[in-house]
Structure 1
Amino acid sequence: MQKHHYLAAATLLGLAVAIGGCARDPQKRSVSELAVSGTKSMLRADADMQTVLNKLAGLDGKAIEKTAPPEARQQPTLADAVKGVLTDDKRSTDPQTLVPGVTTREVTIPGAAGNLPATVYTPAGSGPHPVVLYFHGGGWVIADRTVYDAGARGLAKQADAVVVSVDYRRAPEYKFPAAHDDALAAYKWLTTHAQSLQGDPQRLALAGESAGGNLAVATAIAARDAGLPAPRHILAVYPVAQADTHTASYEKYADAMPLNRPMMLWFVDQISRTPADVQDPRISLVKANLRGLAPVTLINAEIDPLRDDGAQLQQALVQAGVSVERKVYEGVTHEFFGAAAVVEKAQQAQAYAGQRLKADLTAR
């Protein structure tokens, strides 16, 4: 890591103790240590969410902020923990069993600098179906569409829509704005090729989780500015929406699982070339021109440093005259949305997201 680069990013994000909080500080606790540290965030988790967190801790992965990106991408995920809980309960881990009636196929989609792999989730019925372009999370650095399979698959079922989950270029191999450029390119392609996916090009939506939630909103803005057909709805699940890590939720859940402040600073360091990148309105969405966007649904977890990002984005959208609805789910953490197989609040959130998408996508 270039230490001066990290310190610049940390200063930008308002950390008064950047040196002491260095992402590679060997004194920082591991994921498993955080899980059993008795922090306020862990004590507030619902029993089913805590079971998943305990399973994640038992997988004994390294703290992301202590690793290089290739190693970080190999660490256990919340999706792995969900599979572990299912196995412990002697339940099937087969996605088609967990979410019946949704079929998948692999395709490639043109990105801004080459083809991108994507998974197409198709609900039952002959179509044409509405189409949701979905972006996975992982801080623009780790994870991919396979890690976030459960969220995309659940949306296909709940919204009765084709969901196209696309892998964008990740940092640090491809710095900002590579992921954002790929997201816009994928959406542009979809506006003219939805029919090839049994989809209706007149009924499109954007969705994503975490960094992908940021991409969903940023892509809607970019599509508007490029004169592309507008999506009918935007779903952003615990999106990154601003650059200050001293919000109330960042302070309260600074050491939460599976996302914490040191991880966010590490993500920032990987994705940005200069401190100015993090202030770009494509990342700091609250600074963007949000006028004229389609209706937005925001979903947040209470036990999440990004909880207040959602509140700030909601306020900015309201001030811009955009229709927006936001729900905060108590007792769950960042990444809960894809844990519907074992976490009740995730089931509720997926059903809510599906209802919100359906409301704007079903009308011809």
Structure 2
Amino acid sequence: MSDEKHGEPNPIVNALSNTIAAIRADDDQLELAKAHEALHPKAIEKLSVQEARSQPTVADAVKHLLMQQGRATDPTALVPGVRATPLSIDTDSGPLPATVYTPEDATGQGAELPVVLFFHGGGWVIADKEVYDGGARGLAKQAHAIVVSVDYRQAPEHKFPAAWDDALASYRWLTQFASRIGGDARRLALAGESAGGNLAVATAIAARDAGLPLPRHVLSVYPVAQTSLNTESYLENAIAKPLNRAMVKWFVDHLVRTEDDLADPRLSLIDADLRGLPPVTIINARLDPLRSDGAKLEDALQKAGTPVQRREYEGVAHEFFGAAAVLEKARLAQAYAGDRLRESLAV
């Protein structure tokens, strides 16, 4: 196989995926999908890890679309009034790089702000906090809170449960040192997208079990919540973009040490003890293999007596949440998430 053809999507499946999207997706979601396609992403499930990490992301597609529209691409122009500064979080496994997003109108007022610890997506294998800047920055603005977006260790170099250990260590650090970044350690929340949506819920459980102060809220955006690839939405969106069923299998295969890890309640959240957790907000996209995961997690939380709200957004796909610069539903979802967080984080 020539280098040019290596990792190319199957042309028939690709055409079918595009046809289905043209029927089901909102116009602006379709424009974003076309912008992503113009960057020639390869099929991640056919690539090595290093190759997969260099593929164009949805964040790249947002930037490409903004340029096509003749609009600014600078994050500070897209989400004005939020300042980003680097941070290093010390953990037993070493320092973790993080970005602190602070609403600028809050600085200099003396009062400490609530803090949201945010975990990026990428299947625990690819992507980083930079790729998920749009979601984290938008939450800082909408929740009027400091958002700390952390880069946890990734598989396959660091297999399950390294990312979960780092997530808990980051939260533990915030419970002790939130004041260093102008935050109020009594008003913490957890948030994340996709793989990070799983980490947000799992960290709340781990904090409860470790006797740490509980977060006030958990925001889980299109989380991985179980490990079967045969749910309704996996079958319905098997060839969806930008996430498909084969990609999820590729991520999980690189993540786990043995098949036994698939049953671990940190990965299969619907099998965890979900009692005594703070209010949870789940956000799902209709055109996403992970939609059923969110619905199953909502059911499991309700059965455990944990307060939960879930919203499903029609006409948008996985990764939509951080694309508020170009997607109307992303703007609505970020505003909803901000409202939910503000309510729980109020003094």
Aligned match for 2:128, one of 138, 144, 158: 144
Contact 2:118/2:200 (8 A) holds in 1: yes
CA distance change for structure 1 residues 182 and 27 in 2, over 3 Å: closer, same or farther? closer
Cα distance in 1, alignment partners of residues 323 and 228 from structure 2 = 28
Aligned match for 1:95, one of 70, 75, 100: 75
Cα distance in 2, alignment partners of residues 348 and 341 from structure 1 = 12
Aligned match for 1:125, one of 106, 110, 121: 106
Cα distance in 2, alignment partners of residues 313 and 33 from structure 1 = 30
Q: Which residue of 2 aligns with 1:236?
A: 220
The letter of the residue matching 2:25 is A
The letter of the residue matching 2:100 is V
Cα distance in 1, alignment partners of residues 86 and 12 from structure 2 = 35
C-alpha displacement of 1:361:
0.3
Contact 2:7/2:43 (8 A) holds in 1: no
Q: Which residue of 2 aligns with 1:255?
A: 239
Q: Which runs of 5+ in 1 are unaligned?
A: 1-25
1:199-218 alignment runs, 5 A limit: 199-218=183-202
Q: TM (normalized to structure 2)?
A: 0.95
C-alpha displacement of 1:29:
2.8
Deviations along 1:268-305, one digit per CA (max 9) or x if unpaired, are 11001101111100000000000000000000000000
CA distance change for structure 1 residues 250 and 42 in 2, over 3 Å: closer, same or farther? farther
Q: Which residue of 1 aligns with 2:260?
A: 276
Q: Which residue of 2 aligns with 1:299?
A: 283
Q: Which residue of 1 aligns with 2:86?
A: 106
Contact 2:8/2:42 (8 A) holds in 1: no
Q: Which residue of 2 aligns with 1:65?
A: 45
- Spell out structure 1 runs of 4+ moving beyond 2 A: 26-43
Asked if residue 43 in structure 1 is aligned to residue 23 in structure 2, the reply is yes
C-alpha displacement of 1:34:
2.2
CA distance change for structure 1 residues 158 and 35 in 2, over 3 Å: closer, same or farther? farther
Cα distance in 2, alignment partners of residues 37 and 68 from structure 1 = 23
Q: TM (normalized to structure 1)?
A: 0.90
Q: Which residue of 2 aligns with 1:76?
A: 56
The letter of the residue matching 1:92 is A
CA distance change for structure 1 residues 87 and 111 in 2, over 3 Å: closer, same or farther? same
Deviations along 1:31-60, one digit per CA (max 9) or x if unpaired, are 996266444345200000000001111110
Q: What secondary structure is seen at the aligned counterpart in 2 of 1:137?
A: coil
Cα distance in 1, alignment partners of residues 243 and 21 from structure 2 = 11
Q: Which runs of 5+ in 2 are unaligned?
A: 1-5
The letter of the residue matching 2:27 is A
Asked if residue 337 in structure 1 is aligned to residue 321 in structure 2, the reply is yes
Structure 1 vs Structure 2: percent identity of aligned residues?
61
Could you say what the CA RMSD is over the residues aligned between the two structures, in angstroms?
1.5
Of the structure 1 ranges 58-67 and 211-220, higher mean CA displacement relative to structure 2 is found in 58-67
Q: What secondary structure is seen at the aligned counterpart in 2 of 1:297?
A: strand
Cα distance in 2, alignment partners of residues 332 and 153 from structure 1 = 20
Cα distance in 1, alignment partners of residues 23 and 16 from structure 2 = 10
C-alpha displacement of 1:233:
0.1
Cα distance in 2, alignment partners of residues 335 and 180 from structure 1 = 21
Contact 1:134/1:208 (8 A) holds in 2: yes
Cα distance in 1, alignment partners of residues 12 and 135 from structure 2 = 25
The letter of the residue matching 1:155 is L
Aligned match for 2:33, one of 53, 73, 84: 53
Q: Which residue of 2 aligns with 1:326?
A: 310
Of the structure 1 ranges 244-253 and 121-130, higher mean CA displacement relative to structure 2 is found in 121-130
